[in-house]
Amino acid sequence: MIYVVIVFLWTSILLYILLGGADFGAGIIELFTSKGNRSKTRKTMYEAIGPIWEANHMWLIIAIVILFVGFPKIYTTVSIYLHIPLVCMLLGIIARGTAFVFRNYDAVKDDMQKVYTPIFIYSSLITPFFLGIIAASSVSGQIDVQAQDFLSAYVFSWLNWFSVSVGVFTVSICGFLATIFIIGQAADDDRSFFIGKARRTIYTVMFCGALVFVAAYHENIPLASWIFGDTLGLTAIIAASISLIIMFFLLQRKKPILLRLLAGFQVAMILFAATYSHFPDIVLLKNGANLSLLTHQGQAKAIDTLGYALLIGSIFILPALGYLIYIFQQKKEVQEAH
């Protein structure tokens, strides 16, 4: 049952990056759009992220619950030594969600819209940035459980070039996902505009990805050997690169579902390549010790109960999510018909 729990943990993280990432990307793309095109971008983005905005944080909650119940030592270590970026990420989620609701559903359209919009945009940037920092810090080997001062224990564990570069890379991934999602919602007259934006975000992701490897080399983190030194990791990167080439050829064609599947596949391959080589270790500590999903799991009864709960819950969650997306699509088609 432990492997069932691990699969659900990995899948929930992946889905949060994909769906939550596209959601955060909406604000990121709006930030880097000229004022003359912001209204058009905002309207199209809202139509694109509507279905996933309603449910994307569910995947984060599932991941947190799995760690809390199934891997308490891992959960405790991360929440203690990375509590500063965790708090920043959670504050960003709260601020962004609140601003999104008031900006789009406020009954009175007044000058407060000038407050909601900046909060939405900048929290959309900050949240994935700290999410990337948390992920990178967990495997950077900088968490010092033997630290004797505040900075060494709670700041330098995440404030380093590698963690920051992964944070920037995560932001670029979110922007990339958002532009791919938006192409399917764009009107024919605006399609070329959003295709051009998608291409620019792809170049940005490639540049930011290169920065991650530079930062890893500078911090003596064997990221290159993790990814390219393992057959499966290398295969995943090659597969992601091939799908990216295919995507370039499909951008001009009306294949929104295929484009989204390709984008999701690319992110999945990147996540797989980055995590597979040191599996089951999920947290690498500065003293050389590692926290493992197999060694540091909870009680057997807790794992079994958690596994069955996840299996039963998926029977209800996945069809409901599919129905939610279907309802939003039907709503769009009705609006277009009128």
Domain ranges of the chain: 2-337
Over residues 24-53, the mean pLDDT reads: 74
pLDDT > 60? residue 333: no
pLDDT tens profile 164-195: 999 999 999 999 988 888 876 666 667 778 88
CATH class of the region 2-337: mainly alpha
CA–CA gap between residue 87 and residue 155 (Å, rounded): 13
Looking up tokens 């984060």 gives: 60
User: Which 8-state DSSP code applies to residue 129?
Assistant: H
pLDDT averaged over the chain? 85
Paired with 285 in beta bridges are: 143
pLDDT tens profile 130-144: 999 999 999 998 999
User: Which 8-state DSSP code applies to residue 283?
Assistant: E
CA–CA gap between residue 81 and residue 137 (Å, rounded): 10
pLDDT band of residue 39 (cuts 50, 70, 90) is confident
160-171 exposure pattern, b = at least 16 Cβ within 10 A, e = fewer: bbbbbbbbbbbb
pLDDT > 50? residue 334: no
pTM: 0.89
